[in-house]
Amino acid sequence: MKLLRLSRDYFESIALPSLRAELPELLPHLAAGLVGNGSECFGYDDEISRDHDWGVDFFVWVTDNAQVPALAEWKRKLFENHPPEFPRTRSEYGARVTVQTCGEFYADLLGVSDVPRTLTEWRRAPEENFAMATNGAVFLDNAGEFTRIRDELLAYYPEDLRRKRISYRCMALAQTGQYNLDRCVRRGDFVTARTVLARFTDSAIAMAFLLNRRYRPYYKWAFRATRDLPTLGGALAPLLQSIAAAPNFNGAAYAELQRDIAAVCELIAAELRAQGLAASDDWFLTAQGEEVRASIEDEFLRGLPAQVEV
């Protein structure tokens, strides 16, 4: 029982008829849906999700702030008079599902009220916020403004920024799994070795999203979302599961771990070649990282070392 489906059903069967009857003049100017913070907006909610900030709800987005008060009062009365089977709870730090302008919604997440237009604006917001700005579902959009911005965001980062981040992840994968892990193990520094594995896994997941041109969600859901990626997701997920389950750094278990790391890097290098981002078949991903960096057109980004994160 997924909350996104329940919320859509409530909106279409209860809220929309009420809007048509009570505020027909505002219908052409609004959009509604459930997008943003929360496992339900990614479709990942389960029994555990219901302990806080879970329950039927929907946003109403308008183009003019003057339309907000009437719609906010209508929505308050709607939930009071027609409570859903699963009413939403909200914790101290839970996100508000409210009535607001399209610009306010996007500004809350991205710092700008429309699509970012400069590299600075694209870099300002964390990637997980872009994921939250484009997840979920829009139930209705008569005005078209909310969906216009959403569709432009879904077209993904500017290509130069994507390439800079790919070059960085190549370097991070090489430094962690391909280089420093074995050095830490040979020194007996197993705390750092586990840190290295975590960083390698994080970079592999980040790379998969970059190669799919999809925004990576909040870390809690990043691996879950990786499994659904059409490119690399099905191949990477079991390898990352195996890496996470590695019991120790000894004997056969360590040899298997090293094979899994090598397989992850080989998959990524092959996809870089398939996308025309790098031609090298070098096993060490620094070679591909430098190739990708050199292909960046923006002078500032190209001038940064490949290992610098932006």
Among residues 170, 126, 133, the alpha carbon closest in space to that of 153 is found at 133
Residues 6+ apart with CB under 8 A from 31: 60, 61, 62, 102, 138, 140, 141, 142, 143, 144, 145, 146, 147
Give counts: helices (H), strands (E), the chain: 16, 4
**Residue extents of the structural domains in the chain:** 3-154, 159-303
Task: Read off the pLDDT of each residue in 102-113 and give the average, rounded to a whole number.
Answer: 98
- Give the tens place of pLDDT for each residue, 14-63: 999 999 999 999 999 999 999 999 999 999 988 888 877 789 999 999 99
Task: Give every strand in the sheet of 59-62, ordered side by side.
Answer: 99-101, 59-62, 30-34, 137-141
Contact between residue 161 and residue 296 where contact means Cβ atoms under 8 Å apart:
no
pLDDT digits (tens, 9 = 90+) for 224-236: 999 999 999 999 9
- In this prediction, residue 90 carries a pLDDT of 79
Cα–Cα distance for residue pair 144/66, rounded to 1 Å: 18
Report the mean per-residue pLDDT for the chain.
96
Closest to 194 measured CA to CA, from 247, 149, 234: 247
- Say how far apart CA 102 and CA 80 lie, in whole Å: 25
Token pair, residue 209, equals: 């999203």
Confidence of residue 284 (pLDDT cuts 50, 70, 90): very high
